[in-house]
Amino acid sequence: MQTYDFENSIGFIVNQAAKAFVKALDAELRQKVGVTVGQWKVMVMLVNQNGLTQKEIAEKLALEGPTLIPILDKMEKEGLVIRKVDPNDRRNNRIYRTEKANTLWDSMIECGLKIREVSIKDIPDENVKIMKDALEKMRQNLRLNFNVDCTIIGNTITPSTDTNTSAYSATTTTSSRSKENY
C-alpha cells in the first residue's frame, strides 16, 4: 500500500493556515468589536454593495440560506443591519448596514489588519507576493482541470460552482505594507 504524507501536503497546510487565520480573526473581532467572523463576512459584502438580498449574500459567501439566516437575525437584533422588503419583488428582503455597523467598520478593518500583520510577521514582502501569486496559480490550475472556480467581484472572492469555499477580503489602506488584500 502506498503511503501519503498528508500533513505535509500543500492542501493540508493551506487549509490549516486558513483555519488558523479565520479563528484568529474571529477571536480578535469578538474581543475588540463584539462581532463574529460570520458577521464580518456579511459586513464585507454590504460594504461592497449595500442592499443585497439574503440570497445574494448567501451566494457570494458560498453559504446555504439556512446558515446565513441566524447570522442576519443576530446582526439585526444587535442593530447592525436592517431588512427591508424589496419594492421590486416583495418575496425578497434586502439587507442594509445601519449607522451602528458603519461606526464599527473601521474597528473591524483594524482587527483584520492586525491579524494580517501577525500572520506575515518575519516574512519578507517579496515572499508574501510569491505566496499570493503561487496560490492564485494553484487556484487557476484547479479551476481549469477540475471545473471549480472562484470569481473575484470587487475585492471579494466568490465561488461560481458548488464548492464549499468561503473566502473574503477587504482592501487595506492603512497597512505599513503596500496596498494588498489580507
CATH number at residue 25: 1.10.10.10
User: Residue 160: pLDDT band by 50, 70, 90 thresholds?
Assistant: very low
What global pTM score does this model have?
0.76
Q: Residue 176 falls within a domain, yes or no?
A: no
Q: Residue 110 falls within a domain, yes or no?
A: yes
Q: Residue 170 falls within a domain, yes or no?
A: no
* Amino acid found at 33: V
User: Residue 150: pLDDT band by 50, 70, 90 thresholds?
Assistant: low
Q: Residue 32 falls within a domain, yes or no?
A: yes
Q: Residue 114 falls within a domain, yes or no?
A: yes
Q: How many domains does the chain have?
A: 1
Q: Residue 88 falls within a domain, yes or no?
A: yes
**CA atoms of 14 and 9, how far apart (whole Å):** 9
Segments forming the whole domain that contains residue 142:
21-159
Quote the pLDDT of residue 84: 96
Q: Residue 177 falls within a domain, yes or no?
A: no
Mean pLDDT of 134-163: 69
**CA atoms of 54 and 89, how far apart (whole Å):** 13
Q: Residue 164 falls within a domain, yes or no?
A: no
pLDDT higher than 70, residue 149: no
Q: How far is CA 151 from CA 24, 32, 79, 83, in A?
A: 25, 31, 31, 27
